A = this chain, B = another copy of it.
Amino acid sequence: MRAVVLLSGGLDSYTAAAIAKSEQGFELYALTIQYGQRHVRELESARTVARALGVERHLELPIDLRAIGGSSLTADLPVPRDRDPGASDIPSTYVPARNTVFLSVALGWAETLGAHDLIIGVNALDYSGYPDCRPEFVAAFERLAMLGTRAGVEGATFRVHTPLIHLSKGDIIRRGLALGLDYGLTHSCYDPVGDGAPCGRCDSCVLRARGFREAGVLDPLLLR
């Protein structure tokens, strides 16, 4: 059975895809959106990860969200450093409507493929408070998918699978390691330094470090 997975090149979407493949037997159609992100380095990781996952197809689609800006990932604003990712404010790395846009394209591709399953590695526990990572958002998208597609009108039920949504970062990494994943292939940092090395201070680096610490293993990216 086919499923479309949103693959960023980061640790979460890699793990979500691997869980969906190994536990549910999905044939993976990986979608990566080149949205003009500051950390364009993650696109190389997405390609490597797609190969490692043995996806049926990897589609990279440009949607240049720099045209609308509004985020430190897509506009000329500084990426916050040494922040507590669990703070209650939503940081400037929030990209307006990003997951809504990404899931919409995934939905269109799924419909063309005859698939009714989408996979996204969102997490609502160790995260930066982005609203479009929460279960209520995902449920609202499933409803929209049913109402806005020919397949939905004809009776199909679209499911958005979020295998990581309630896991801690440590648990995500433990699950992935148990599946044999190589996190050295991934990239998480929002604001990599010159040679692509992680900054160690953005939310994404901080959450990643916390996860490896919790899991009691070393991050292979730091062993290079």
What sequence of 0s and 1s flags, for each residue 143-172 of chain A, a beta carbon within 8 Å of any chain B beta carbon? 111011110110000000000000000000
User: Inside 8 A of A153's CB, which chain B residues have their CB?
Assistant: 90, 131
Q: Does A65 contact B (CB under 8 A)?
A: yes
Q: A69-B112, A97-B104, A107-B100 are in contact. Are A147 and B152 (CB under 8 A)?
A: no
Within 8 A of B (CB), among A21-49: none
Task: Pick out which of these stretches binds chain B: A56-64, A174-182, A187-195, A216-224.
Answer: A56-64
Interchain Cβ contacts under 8 Å between A and B, 29 examples: A61-B63, A61-B67, A63-B105, A68-B105, A68-B108, A68-B112, A96-B108, A96-B149, A96-B150, A97-B105, A97-B111, A97-B145, A97-B148, A97-B149, A100-B107, A100-B145, A100-B148, A101-B104, A101-B108, A104-B104, A131-B148, A131-B149, A131-B152, A131-B153, A137-B147, A137-B148, A140-B140, A140-B144, A143-B144
A101: which B residues are within 8 A, CB to CB? 101, 104-105, 108
Distance between Cα atoms of A97 and B147 in the complex (Å): 10
CB distance from A203 to the nearest CB of B (A): 15
* Per-residue B-contact encoding for A103-122, CB less than 8 Å = 1, 0 else: 01101110110000000000
